[in-house]
Amino acid sequence: MTLNAALRLLAGSVILISLALGTYINPVWYYLTGFVGLNLLQSAFTGWCPAMTLFRLLKLKEQTCSTGMSIHQGVHIIAGSLVLATVGAYLLFAAPPWLLYITAVAGVSLVQSAFTGWCPAFTIASVLGFKKAS
């Protein structure tokens, strides 16, 4: 498994778990969902998040792009923005709860992409001009 796949697996899993905890235990858990979205977004630009440190210690293979931003960075931007927008709208602007289904779809998509190597965000990132990583 590559570092980017492991990161998507972890992020998607935490998104889904925190959504379930927010729904069935306490809505404060949605802040964890937002934190994951924020970490996805910032890691696209900085190349670092707390989980990446662990994955690098585990010697997971990193995929980089020689010029420009990689498709993986594009996926992080798309998923992070989507998660932050939906959770933020729900928490800050009292948007309807069904909006969190979009967040759940993003979480499921991240988890499955860790195993299949594809999600809709890969296609969107490619169309937007993000480069394939080596």
First-to-final CA distance of the chain = 14
Grouping H, G, I as helix, E, B as strand and the rest as coil, residue 10 is helix
User: What is the identity of the amino acid at 33?
Assistant: T
117-129 pLDDT tens trace? 888 998 898 899 8
For Cα atoms 106, 104, 127, give the angle at the middle one, nearest 5 degrees: 15
Query: Residue 68 above 80 pLDDT?
Result: no
CA dist list (Å): 36 to 21, 84, 120, 131: 14, 9, 19, 24
Distance CA 52, CA 49 (A): 5
Q: Where are the domains of the chain?
A: 3-127
Output the pLDDT for position 134. 61
- Give 80 or 68, the one with higher predicted confidence: 80
Q: Are 71 and 124 in contact, with CB atoms under 8 Å apart?
A: no
Q: What is the model's pTM?
A: 0.91
Distance CA 67, CA 18 (A): 35
